């Protein structure tokens, strides 16, 4: 860790790591990701790695605002676990339609496939904790993760980075929008940064991003 450049609370959190195993076959502590998240204490101050075995986890996952420092880590990069859910904005409302909602800080995702079967995909991030997909106040980090969806499937207000990941557009709408950013004003620190990511898919016309709020900021870099 670059201790001179990171927030002291984050450095402290990484010094004591807890691992919780999730396995569909029952060989872990929990069979579902949701149950693993629920087991983490409110106000947690240490990094908690939820180690997720292969398979498809059909569940809507939410990390509450006061559960920071959580990592979702797929155990096998060649057989990544799939988190999927068929939620729609019409059914749940925009904010709660995501497959994975992260309201807390310093979430990390590694070796995962996060998919939406219907409309909104996955990450609704929100500084005010009430804006869509991976909801986080400040920081999300994902590495080698596949995000799959149709319309606005990565959305919200948080500051986040996506590294060496795949953004996959699937059929279902004549026009697909990958990102919907919700930064409200130019003074906000939030932004989505996609670094060395691949944009793939079998859908029709796809746009990299759209402005959900007037000061939206999204960067793709290679």
Q: Strand, coil or helix: what is 205?
A: strand
Answer whether 140's CB lies under 8 Å from 172's CB: no
Nearest-angstrom CA–CA distance, 37 and 17: 15
Q: Which residues are catalytic?
A: 152
What are the helix (H) ranges across the chain?
8-14, 33-38, 89-92
Residues in CB range of 140: below 8 A, 6 or more apart: 102, 107, 108, 109, 123, 125, 134, 158, 159, 160, 161
């Amino acid at each position: 860790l670059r201790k001179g450049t990171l927030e002291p609370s984050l450095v402290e959190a990484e010094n004591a790591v807890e691992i919780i195993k999730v396995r569909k076959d029952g060989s872990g502590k929990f069979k579902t990701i949701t149950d693993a998240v629920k087991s983490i204490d409110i106000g947690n101050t240490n990094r908690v790695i939820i180690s997720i075995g292969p398979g498809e986890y059909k569940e809507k996952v939410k990390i509450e605002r006061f559960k920071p420092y959580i990592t979702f880590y797929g155990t096998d990069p060649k057989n990544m676990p799939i988190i999927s859910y068929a939620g729609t904005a019409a059914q749940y409302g925009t904010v709660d339609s995501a497959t994975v909602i992260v309201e807390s800080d310093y979430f990390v995702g590694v070796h995962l496939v996060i998919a939406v079967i219907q409309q909104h995909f996955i990450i609704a991030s929100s500084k005010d904790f009430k804006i869509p997909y991976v909801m986080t106040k400040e920081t999300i980090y994902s590495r080698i993760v596949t995000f799959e969806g149709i319309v606005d499937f990565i959305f919200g207000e948080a500051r986040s980075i996506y590294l060496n990941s795949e953004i996959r557009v699937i059929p279902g709408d004549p026009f697909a929008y990958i990102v919907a950013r919700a930064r409200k004003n130019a003074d906000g620190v939030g932004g989505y940064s996609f670094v060395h990511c691949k944009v793939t898919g079998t859908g029709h016309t796809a746009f990299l991003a759209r402005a959900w709020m007037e000061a939206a900021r999204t960067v793709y870099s290679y």
